Amino acid sequence: MTTNAHVDPLTMVVEDGVAIITFDAPGSAVNTVDRALGASLERMLKIIEATPTIAAAVLISGKPDIFIAGADIEQFTEFRTPQDARTASALGQELLDKVEGLRVPVVAAIHGACLGAGLETALACAWRVCSDHPKTVLGLPEVQLGIIPGAGGTQRLPRLIGLQRALDMILTGRNIRAKKALQMGLVDDMVHPAILREIAVKRAHELASKLILPSRSPRDRGAAGVILEDNPIGRSLVFRKAREGVMAKTHGHYPAPLAAIDVVRCGYDKGFKTGLNEEAKQFGELALTEVSRQLVFLFFATTALKKDPGVDEPAPKAARVEKLGILGAGFMGAGIASVAVQQGTTVRLKDAEHARVGKGLASVRAVLMERVKRKQVTRAQYDDMMTLAGGTIEYTGFAGLDMVIEAVFEDLSLKHTVLREVEPLIHDDAVYASNTSTIPITRIAEAAERPERVLGMHFFSPVHKMPLLEVIRGEQTSSEAVVTAVAYGKRLGKTVIVVNDGPGFYTTRTLGAYMNEAGMLLDAGAEIAALDEALVNFGFPVGPVTLLDEVGLDVGGKVGQVLFDAFGARMHPSEAMRRVVESGRTGRKGKSGFYKYGEDGKKGEVDPSVYEFLGTRERSVIPAGDVVRRCVLAMVNEAARCLEEGILRSARDGDIGAVFGIGFPPFRGGPFRYVDTIGADAVVRELEELQGRFGARFEPASLLVEMARSRRRFYPAEGKPLG
């Protein structure tokens, strides 16, 4: 028996009494759960119910490395009311109830990504077999989109793997690899991909003939888990701790994880059915929140960037980068090397002294070793990666390189010197990238024989953790060099935006405007901790003063100077910053900044002695609303200038750059989404009011004025966020 293979996202064959249902959405690289898939699965379940010769079923994917990637998020944007979303959730729940209650046992054969609604489908099965392939990951990432699992995941997962583990998965959205999934009872078998189908069919037969029983009860829990979870008082404690953990991390800005805790709890207190009802209700409400809309936008924008070659003109083919040279084995150089070797690139790390090369290689080793400890790579893979990294103080091995990334000190003449040294050694087509954070690429390229091969690749620290790469196109940079850098950045796992050249490009420039305003607030007598707290409450991961300590006061001082030289009065450094920088404090790295630091580098209280440099110890109370308005609008206004001057290619890139590069709160979508949320006219009014109080640096960008006048938005108001 075979169903209509050409239009259906599912096909079914029956072999020896086992119905094998294959997910394989036609014309798509991935399987997602949508109406068509739901309807198709429903039809097949009916056939199975009505065919007595079918004794069991197997769900498997026809895609190379994806079981089911999750629900079709496009369909989320069609919800107009919470009831729409609630209905969709209830339909999904009903369908999976049918899978669970089917006359015959169903086995999920999982290879590749099994996420969101995909995992919920697998959870409704009687047995789960997964492949031991690195691409096999299981997770419920819904909270990352501002929602909760809506097809029974909040109820089935805790019943399968226990409360604490389930909460951890649901509240973080983290991916679980095959081996871990087996250990925690999320899957019942782990096998080589080559025998996945065979074993799944075997288990289906065994279940049908009751040789094995479906896994349903929590198992393999640690002793603490058993004691805590199996009684109501222990559970209360688990829920309370989970709530505290979420609040500490999110400051209450993200409703989804809190709702998830309530929904899981409801299932424990009032039973599975009531839990499902509550799940659908909360899913419905969350799907329509502003927070979810913004997070879904970020998802679409990131997906769109994956397909963006980085140039507006017809894109030439990107050259493949197999051999990379890195100049400067310091903090950033070593960081870049650590991500490059993980992608199989051969790296030559060059510094001025042996000791520094050694230190750089040691940092690469440390990053990779951390991955071994977390069981993300094996010891053998670690050894293979380390053999790719070599060091030099004399450019040995530079002749055959495809790309060089320069990460020496932030000093134009030094950057010119190393460029002049390297260019004759590498082949004519090699790309030369500088990791400068402020210096215009066109100025660096002045020393080049082939300025068309020179561009910026601005990574963020720590390189192995930060998701953004800002590629900077100089005046003479060729499109081929741009697409090569963009493609390589993507290979390193980064979300890449391409910006045009200018002092501080996009991210450093907008962050600079924000930090500078924080300095002005210190001049005006703001209390340091209160200043930081106001912006953390707005949603930044840390406040601006803490951030300055992290980045280094010396670095911050230099950046401030570059921006002041370029933009004049608008970026006039504050007295407070100037004096603290001049005092020689360097921040966390020197264990002396605005805050106190312990021997282990742990941040303590504000260091009261720093107020000596701020003119006076007397501090005034500046309302948190004022702090936020001044700092955030300084950043937003600067972002708008970057768009109007053509530094940015789109508002989308500006939003992604701010969220992934400089900590703009994701639930606000980015500076341009923020303007859309409160309205360009309101932003302009506020800026004009600030201009009246504090002067010309708040003069609204003409783009914002124009948008306010013509009542335009950066994004369409409804429907697909990217229009």
What are the catalytic residues? 470
657 binds ligand NAI (CB under 6 A): no
From residue 407 to residue 436, what is the string marking binding to ligand NAI with x (rule CB under 6 A)? xxxx---x---x----------------xx
From residue 269 to residue 308, what is the string marking binding to ligand NAI with x (rule CB under 6 A)? ----------------------------------------
Out of 70, 92, 325, 328, which residue is the one contacting ligand NAI (CB under 6 A)? 328
239 binds ligand NAI (CB under 6 A): no
Q: Cα Rg for the chain, rounded, in angstroms?
A: 28
User: How many residues form the binding site for ligand NAI (CB under 6 A)?
Assistant: 24
Task: Give the integer Cα–Cα distance in Å for 263 and 269.
Answer: 10
Minimum gap (Å) between residue 686 Cβ and ligand NAI: 31
Residue (176 or 329) nearer to ligand NAI, CB: 329
Measured over the CA atoms of residue 421, residue 424, residue 427 and residue 432, the dihedral's sign is positive
Half-sphere exposure of 300 (CA within 13 A, CB side): 20
CA dihedral (107, 111, 113, 116) in degrees, to 10, reads: 0
Whether the link from the prior residue into 462 is cis, omega within 30° of 0, is: yes
Structure-token pair, residue 511:
């962050």
Out of 352, 369, 386, 566, which residue is the one contacting ligand NAI (CB under 6 A)? 352
Taking CB under 6 A as the binding criterion, the range among 273-281, 312-320, 326-334, 637-645 that sits at the site for ligand NAI is: 326-334
Residue (410 or 644) nearer to ligand NAI, CB: 410
Give the N- to C-terminal CA distance of the chain in Å, as an integer.
43
Q: Which helix (H) or strand (E) holds 346?
A: strand 346-350
Residue with CB nearest ligand NAI?
A: 330
From residue 32 to residue 61, what is the string marking binding to ligand NAI with x (rule CB under 6 A)? ------------------------------
Taking CB under 6 A as the binding criterion, the range among 16-24, 260-268, 287-295, 327-335 that sits at the site for ligand NAI is: 327-335
390 binds ligand NAI (CB under 6 A): no
Show Cβ contacts of residue 712 under 8 Å, excluding neighbours closer than 6 positions.
Answer: 680, 706
331 binds ligand NAI (CB under 6 A): yes
313 binds ligand NAI (CB under 6 A): no
Minimum gap (Å) between residue 669 Cβ and ligand NAI: 24
Out of 330, 397, 467, 590, which residue is the one contacting ligand NAI (CB under 6 A)? 330
Burial of 243 (0-12, 13-18, 19+ CB in 10 A): middle
Nearest to 697 by CA among 580, 501, 564: 564
**Concatenated DSSP letters of 466-485:** --EEEEEE-TT--HHHHHHH
Q: How far is CA 546 from the centre of its chain?
A: 22
Out of 92, 141, 333, 539, which residue is the one contacting ligand NAI (CB under 6 A)? 333
340 binds ligand NAI (CB under 6 A): no
Out of 221, 350, 585, 652, which residue is the one contacting ligand NAI (CB under 6 A)? 350
Q: Are 176 and 122 in contact (CB under 8 A)?
A: no
Q: Which helix (H) or strand (E) holds 89?
A: helix 82-100
* Tokens 């970057």, residue located: 642
Minimum gap (Å) between residue 267 Cβ and ligand NAI: 45
Show Cβ contacts of residue 100 under 8 Å, excluding neighbours closer than 6 positions.
Answer: 124, 125, 126
Positions touching ligand NAI (CB under 6 A) are 327-333, 350-352, 356, 407-410, 414, 418, 435-437, 458-461
